[in-house]
Amino acid sequence: MSSLTTVTCIEDLRRMAQRRVPRMFYDYVESGSWTESTFRSNVDDFQRLKFKQRVAVDIQSRSLRSSMIGTEVAMPVALAPTGLTGMLCGDGEILAARAAERFGVPFTLSTMSICSIEDIATHTSRPFWFQLYVMRDRDFMRRLIDRAKAAGCSALMLTLDLQVMGQRHKDIKNGLAAPPKPTLRNLLNLATKPQWCLSMSRTPRRSFGNIVGHAKGVSDVSSLASWTTEQFDPALCWQDIEWIKQAWGGKLVVKGIMDAEDARHAADCGADALIVSNHGGRQLDGAPSSIAALPHIVQAVRGDIEIWLDGGIRSGQDVLRAVALGAQGTLIGRAFLYGLGAAGQAGVERALQIIAKELDVSMAFCGRTDIGGVGRSILLNPQIFDDLTKI
């Protein structure tokens, strides 16, 4: 924990993670598809929104507390579902879930996690959310849903923007696959990461815990690669969401919305929340940033469905900007992964502390004392993304 005392921002955690995590797994986190223009825009576009500073306002008592689909949260932030989290450090998903539980924000487990649904349920006491991909093997999907129910998951998050895989050049060059390829270049790099190697040596969890031993024909990592390349379903359509919602029977969140018409479909299909998201810039390169797309989604469906946002959030100020433009919740992916790679559970907790501190202080400078009272009026230029054709 001593190494975290001088960490003051998410960028500090990113640099620490880069030093400690093997290149192929760090690059998996810190990359987008094709030219990575959308990956960069996700971060850069937040900075285009400028705050309106207010003074001589009583800001002694402030609150960041909010709710996301009925779940009380310490701030309007949840940990996003991220694949391969358990390869940033040993038992990564368990550690991240514990950090979220201690801080009072939701944790979302990815289908493509290293630790399983059951692992998270065993090692935490707070209900968590589970993210689901639409697979060709519908029986496997039903079993995943049943396992999530049995584990007490309080919401199902359905990702809609991975019918085909975006080309991620760094992953291809690094030989990152499912399972990763042990090339000489990768093995030599591993030799320079002793802390990571030690953490991985202490856990038996090094495969995809939700898939291996559960999906038909996938009994070990050697049979996993062909299964994953065949399973993402390009035939996914809005009608599929109806049977998923019925099979689940609980709170449903749909992720990957970047268009106003799709937002209307999400509201009409009975989802409880939608996430404005471009998959962290890892799918359609050249798409707008998530924050640029947000105002159009808000205008299309405000009041009909909860609207959340992920992609590019690296500070509490970014959370504040998203809330100002109409997001009722946000999700962080890379920001918490940097913390995890840097220092395990303590690193994730530090990432959340940093974001909360920045959110609280920035809200105060804008003359607001309750996150629920934040709106477009705290921004000098809230209209900057209102015309996407000019971006």
Question: Side chain identity at 10, as an amino acid letter?
Answer: I
Is 311 annotated as belonging to a binding site? yes
Is 334 annotated as belonging to a binding site? yes
CA distance 212 to 208: 6
Task: Please say if 279 is a catalytic residue.
Answer: yes
Task: For strands 66-68 and 71-73, give the pairing.
Answer: antiparallel
Indicate the burial class of 54 (C-beta count within 10 angstroms; 0-12, 13-18, 19 or more).
middle
Is 185 annotated as belonging to a binding site? no
Which of these is catalytic: 169, 214, 279, 296?
Answer: 279
Is 86 annotated as belonging to a binding site? no
Is 277 annotated as belonging to a binding site? yes
CA distance 10 to 30: 13
Is 255 annotated as belonging to a binding site? yes
Is 123 annotated as belonging to a binding site? no
Is 350 annotated as belonging to a binding site? no
Is 147 annotated as belonging to a binding site? no
Is 47 annotated as belonging to a binding site? no
Is 81 annotated as belonging to a binding site? yes
Nearest-Å Rg of the Cα atoms of the chain is 20
CA distance 377 to 35: 35
Binning the chain into helix, strand and coil, the percentages to the nearest 5 are 45, 10, 40
Is 279 annotated as belonging to a binding site? yes
* Residues 6 or more apart in contact with residue 101 via CB below 8 angstroms: 107, 124, 125, 126
Q: In the 3-class helix/strand/coil scheme, how is 283-335 assigned residue by residue? A: CCCCCCCHHHHHHHHHHHHCCCCEEEEECCCCCHHHHHHHHHCCCCEEEECHH
CA distance 210 to 112: 7
Is 110 annotated as belonging to a binding site? yes
Is 83 annotated as belonging to a binding site? yes
Closest by CA to 268, choosing from 236, 242, 297, 295, is 242
Is 133 annotated as belonging to a binding site? yes
Is 313 annotated as belonging to a binding site? yes
Residue 307, phi-psi category: left (phi > 0), alpha (psi -120 to 50), beta (remainder):
beta
For 276, the 3-state DSSP assignment is: strand
Is 126 annotated as belonging to a binding site? no
* Residues 6 or more apart in contact with residue 313 via CB below 8 angstroms: 46, 319, 322, 330, 331, 332, 335, 355
The C-alpha angle 260, 166, 336, rounded to 5 degrees, equals 80
Is 281 annotated as belonging to a binding site? no
Is 31 annotated as belonging to a binding site? no
Show binding-site residues. Answer: 28, 81-83, 110, 131, 133, 159, 168, 255, 277, 279, 282, 310-314, 333-334
Show binding-site residues for glyoxylate. Answer: 28, 133, 168, 279, 282
Show binding-site residues for FMN. Answer: 81-83, 110, 131, 159, 255, 277, 310-314, 333-334
Active site residues: 279
